Amino acid sequence: MENKLRFYNTLTRKVEQFIPNVDGKVAMYTCGPTVYHFAHIGNLRSYIMEDLLEKTLRYIGYDVKRVMNITDVGHLSSDADTGEDKMLKGAKREHKTVMEIAKFYTDAFFQDCAKLNIKTPDVVEPATNCIPEFIHMIETLLEKGYAYEQGGNIYFDTSKLEEYYVFSNQNEQELLVGVRDDVDEDENKRNKSDFVLWFTKSKFDDQELKWESPWGLGYPGWHIECSCISMKHLGEYMDIHCGGVDNIFPHHTNEIAQSESYLGHKWCNYWFHVHHLNDKSGKMSKSKGDFLTVSLLESKGYDPVVYRMFCLQSHYRKPLEFSYEVLDNMSAAYEKLVKRIGSLQQEGELDQEQYRAYREKFESAICDDLNSSMAITVLYDMLKADISDATKYALAESFDQVLSLNLTTAHAAKAAENQVDAELEKYILSKIEERKAAKKEKDFAKADAIRAELLSQGIVLEDTREGVKWKRA
């Protein structure tokens, strides 16, 4: 089939035409969340833009298989092999077991994704499901001489590679975006850039999850999971590997080192990285400042889909700064947009020529390095154009397969919600009147019963100087 899509490949540092290994099929892998806390909306920016890539591929006709891991073991807070184990940190914080924490935050992650219309990947695999695969890969790396045992741990020997810093010719210092917290040197390492494949001796005596291995009771390093899980489901050749820019080093660099040493050939052709969402103070964090989550946005009255639109209005290769002011503008624009689409007459003949022309415009925008804001401009232009309502409606429905902004359903859903609200209000006001009458007749038991009845339905009555008011509990 025709390969129309072009996007930036971090490996070659160029915008390239995408050509999969097998014509018409795409093997795609995404680094999943570390499930020790809620995802912040920065993490979710990455997943929104990866979802956009997957949906673009499907839209232009590829058969995509997408795999995602769930990191429930081995990810230390520095992204290198130092700092605390993130899962352990979460378990201690909430006085729960690591597995309870993993289950809770995995579910929370997919609930957030659903609210943002992020499709669940075809395969989702927690790291703790794949311990035998990790052990097998590490054994092979030891046999091939790419790994060594030192101080009880197994390390990958980066000096055995022709090229370790595959993503750029920058030095390690410049690449250390991912290293966040305390960094202390591990004296067992032969080379500074070596990394742990399997821990048996770590500074966490209280490490909860441990498994038997040929090297003793222990647990895997973080990087090995993505190599093994992707190969388990996608085989030895992969087309696209995704993640946020902080994953480039050391995580993806190490994934390539161990995967290609294990396989003996090139592993993945295209690396897709999403730039960060920042807050005013800089990098978004789960521990400092406002912890921005989807639930927080909802509690402030925002529709999560408006945050998706906020992300789509900016290019995935540019850092994006979050602000409520911009989100407010986006909310207003979104409401107008879906109202406009909701007012279109759906019935009638399609103008096939216009339909094809606008689909092509939309495709060429989105296929041009995922220019999502241009794709939204095509949507606006199309709505303004002199074409039939039915054609506009069909085009909005079609574009939404990629944009996933509930373009054709939001308005009706909102109207139904308003209808329910109006009926509810009528019912509550009638109850308030009934209670007032009961009070007048000094039937306080009845008045209290009415208040209790409403409370059981989540409605609280408040007696104020201006009369009785109600609110949701």
Binding site for Zn ion (CB under 5 A): 31, 226
Q: Which CA distances in Å does 243 have to 10, 175, 186, 252, 272?
A: 11, 15, 27, 9, 7
In the complex, minimum distance from the CB of residue 415 to ligand AMP, in angstroms, rounded to a whole number: 34
Choice between 115 and 276, CB closer to Zn ion? 276
Where do we find the tokens 């989540």?
458
121 binds ligand AMP (CB under 6 A): no
In the complex, minimum distance from the CB of residue 44 to ligand AMP, in angstroms, rounded to a whole number: 8
In the complex, minimum distance from the CB of residue 31 to Zn ion, in angstroms, rounded to a whole number: 3
- Maximum separation of any 2 CA atoms in the chain, in Å: 92
In the complex, minimum distance from the CB of residue 47 to ligand AMP, in angstroms, rounded to a whole number: 7
In terms of residues, how long is the chain? 473
Binder to ligand AMP among 54, 133, 239, 246 (CB under 6 A)?
246
Q: Hey, what are 72's tokens?
A: 């429930």
225 binds ligand AMP (CB under 6 A): no
Contact 73, 87 (CB under 8 A): yes
Q: Is 24 left (phi over 0), alpha (psi -120 to 50) or beta?
A: left
46 binds ligand AMP (CB under 6 A): yes
Binder to ligand AMP among 83, 243, 250, 342 (CB under 6 A)?
243
284 binds ligand AMP (CB under 6 A): yes
The three-state secondary structure class of 168 is coil
Contact 209, 219 (CB under 8 A): yes
Instruction: Give the integer Cα–Cα distance in Å for 102 and 104.
Output: 6
Where do we find the tokens 């030192």?
150
Per-residue binding letters, 187-206, with ligand AMP (x by CB under 6 A) = --------------------
Stretch that binds ligand AMP, among 272-280, 341-349, 397-405, 411-419 (CB under 6 A): 272-280
Question: What backbone phi and psi angles, to 5 degrees, belong to 184?
Answer: -125, 145
Choice between 271 and 322, CB closer to Zn ion? 271
Q: Which residues contact 104 (CB under 8 A, 6 or more apart)?
A: 35, 96
The three-state secondary structure class of 263 is helix
Choice between 226 and 405, CB closer to Zn ion? 226
In the complex, minimum distance from the CB of residue 165 to ligand AMP, in angstroms, rounded to a whole number: 18
Stretch that binds ligand AMP, among 55-63, 269-277, 309-317, 386-394 (CB under 6 A): 269-277
221 binds ligand AMP (CB under 6 A): no
Q: By C-alpha distance, which of 228, 252, 257 is closest to 242? A: 252
Residue 226 interacts with, from Zn ion, ligand AMP, none (CB under 5-8 Å by kind): Zn ion
Choice between 135 and 320, CB closer to ligand AMP? 320
Per-residue binding letters, 24-43, with ligand AMP (x by CB under 6 A) = -------x-xx-------xx
Choice between 194 and 279, CB closer to ligand AMP? 279
Which residue, judged by CB position, is nearest to ligand AMP in the bound state? 244
Q: Hey, what are 95's tokens?
A: 């006085």
In the complex, minimum distance from the CB of residue 144 to Zn ion, in angstroms, rounded to a whole number: 22
Site for ligand AMP in 77-106 (CB under 6 A): none
Q: Which CA distances in Å does 182 have to 76, 179, 223, 249, 378?
A: 11, 8, 19, 17, 47
The three-state secondary structure class of 470 is strand
Choice between 154 and 274, CB closer to ligand AMP? 274
Q: ∠ at Cα 105 (103, 111), nearest 5°? A: 105
Where do we find the tokens 């202390």?
184
Considering just the CA atoms, what is the radius of gyration of the chain in Å?
A: 27
Choice between 90 and 342, CB closer to ligand AMP? 90
Residue 238 interacts with, from ligand AMP, Zn ion, none (CB under 5-8 Å by kind): none
Instruction: Give the integer Cα–Cα distance in Å for 333 and 339.
Output: 10
Binding region for ligand AMP (CB under 6 A): 31, 33-34, 42-43, 45-46, 71, 243-244, 246-247, 274, 276-277, 283-284
